[in-house]
Amino acid sequence: EIVVATSQKSESQKPGPQKAGADTSALPDSGIAASGSRASGTPAAARPRAAARAGGEAMPDGAATAAATLAPAYAEAEPAPAAALAASEEREDLSAPLDPRFTFENFVVGKPNELAFAAARRVADASAVTFNPLFLYGGVGLGKTHLMHAIAWHIRRKDPSRRVIYLSAEKFMYQFIRALRFKDTMAFKEQFRSVDVLMIDDVQFISGKDSTQEEFFHTFNALVDQNRQVIISADKSPSDLEGMEERLRSRLGWGLVADIHPTTYELRLGILQQKADQMGAKIPQKVLEFLAHKITSNVRELEGALNRIVAHAELVGRAITLESTQEVLHDLLRASNRRVTIEEIQKKVAEHFNIRLSDMSSARRARAVARPRQVAMYLAKQLTQRSLPEIGRKFGDRDHTTVMHAVRKVEELCGTDPAFAEDVELLRRMLEG
C-alpha cells in the first residue's frame, strides 16, 4: 500500500502506469491520492481523479476545507459518508498524490539522467534496502519529481504491502508545524517512523528552517537505523545545501548521490518525440528538432511549448508547421534566445577548427580556413538577428551573396556529411549555451 498512512483499505483498482495524454479523468482512483480521496469522502470508484496534482499541494485542515480545495465540483455533488469522514479525521494525511504520468516507462533516458534513472530503478526494484539514502539532485524541471513518483508507483505495483510515503519537504514542514500546534508530535513521529519507504522531494526547502530540520534529521536517522529506504531530492548536492546543518548534510550524502545534468539536444529531442507520440499529435520532425534546439532551459518548458503548439493547431484546425510553431512560440523563443554575438561565434568556430581568429576576416581561400569561415557565417545567420550584409561586413567586408553562398553550402554539407553536421551542431549548442 502506498502511503497513505491514511487509507488502510486497499483499493481493488490498479491504475498502473498511464501514458501522458491519456484521459486522466477516467483513471481509476489509486488510493494514493489520499488527501483527495479521503477528504472528499466519496467512494474511490465513483470519484474521478480530480486534479491529482493540485490535491497534493493542498493541506486539508479538515475534510470540508479539503474537499473545497481539492475538488469542489465533486465534493458538492457527492456527500461524504459519515464513516469515511470519521476515518479521515483519525489520521493525518502524509503522502501527496502521485502523478499517473510520472512512471519509469514515460521517462526518457539519456546521458544527463542515466545515473539518476539507474539508481532510481535499482532502489525501486530492490527488495532489500540498497543505497540509503538515495539522494537525487539537479536543476529545476529536469525530472527529479518524475523519478520519485516512478519509484513510488513501481514499489506499489510490485509490493502493495510496503508503505511508501512521498511528499515535498514543504509539506513535511507543514505537517510538523501542524503537529506542534496541535501538540500531536508523538503521532507525527510515529507515523513517519513506521513507513517502509520515505521520499522527501525538494529537501532544500527546509534549509534554514531549524526545528523542521531537527525533526527531519531524527526521522531520517530512525528510518535508516531500521533499515527503511529513504529517498531525497534537492536542487543541489548535499554538500552544497546551504542553511542545512552540517550533520544532516553529511548524512544525506551517505548513500548514493546521483545528479541529473542539464538536458542535451538528443535528450530533448527524445523527450519531444515521446510526448508527441503520447499526445497522438502529428508533428513534423523538423518542428521537434527546432524545439529541441531552441528550448534548452528544462523539460518542463519543453513540454509547455509542445502543448502550446498542439493546442493551437487543434483550435485553429491547421497542421503544425515550422512557421506556425515560430509564430505560436514567439514570446518564448525570444526569451530563450541568448544573445550570441558574431564575435563570439567567430572565436568559438576558429578555436574549434584550430585556425586563427584573424582568418575569419582574411582573404585566404584555402579550404582549411574557408570552410570554418563559412560555418561561422552560417551560425551567425542562424543564431543572431543580423542581416546578410551585416554579417558580410563582420567577415572582412564580404558581400552578402558570399554569406548566402556560405549558408547554402553549410546546409548542403550538413545533409551529405554526418560528421560535418555533427560538428556544426556541436558548435551551435556550445554557442547557445
Judged by CB under 6 A, the residue of 133, 141, 255, 372 near ligand ADP is 141
> By CB under 6 A, which span of 213-221, 284-292, 296-304, 308-316 interacts with ligand ADP?
296-304
Shortest Cβ distance from residue 102 to ligand ADP (Å)? 6
Q: Please give the size of the binding site for ligand ADP, defined by CB under 6 A.
A: 17
416 is in an annotated binding site: no
| Cell numbers given for 394 | 563582420
Residue closest to ligand ADP, measured at CB = 143
Quick check: 198 binds ligand ADP (CB under 6 A)?
Answer: no
114 is a contact residue toward ligand ADP (CB under 6 A)? no
Residue 77 main-chain phi, psi, to 5 deg: -70, -30
Closest CA to 164 of 151, 176, 181, 183: 151
Q: Closer to ligand ADP at the Cβ: 15 or 138?
A: 138
* φ, ψ for residue 265, nearest 5 deg: -55, -45
CA atoms within 13 A on the CB side of 390: 9
Residue 141 touches which of ligand ADP, Mg ion, none (CB < 5 to 8 A by kind)? ligand ADP
Name which of 105, 102, 98 is nearest 49 in CA terms: 98
Examine residue 145 and tell whether it contacts ligand ADP (CB under 6 A): yes
Residue 139 to residue 240: CA distance in whole angstroms = 13
Strands 197-201 and 256-260: unpaired
Q: From the CB of 239, what's the least distance to ligand ADP, in Å?
A: 19
Report how far residue 302's alpha carbon sits from residue 331's, in angstroms, rounded to the nearest whole number. 14
Does residue number 158 form part of the binding site for ligand ADP (CB under 6 A)? no
| Residue 108 in contact with ligand ADP, rule: CB under 6 A | yes
Length of the chain: 433
**Taking a C-beta distance cutoff of 8 angstroms, is the pair 398, 362 a contact?**
no
CA 139, CA 237: separation in Å to the nearest integer? 10
Q: Is 9 annotated as a binding residue?
A: no
Which residue in the set 40, 145, 212, 325 belongs to the binding site for Mg ion (CB under 5 A)?
145
Annotated binding site: 141, 143-145
- Sites of contact with ligand ADP (CB under 6 A): 102, 106-108, 113, 138, 140-146, 271, 299-300, 303
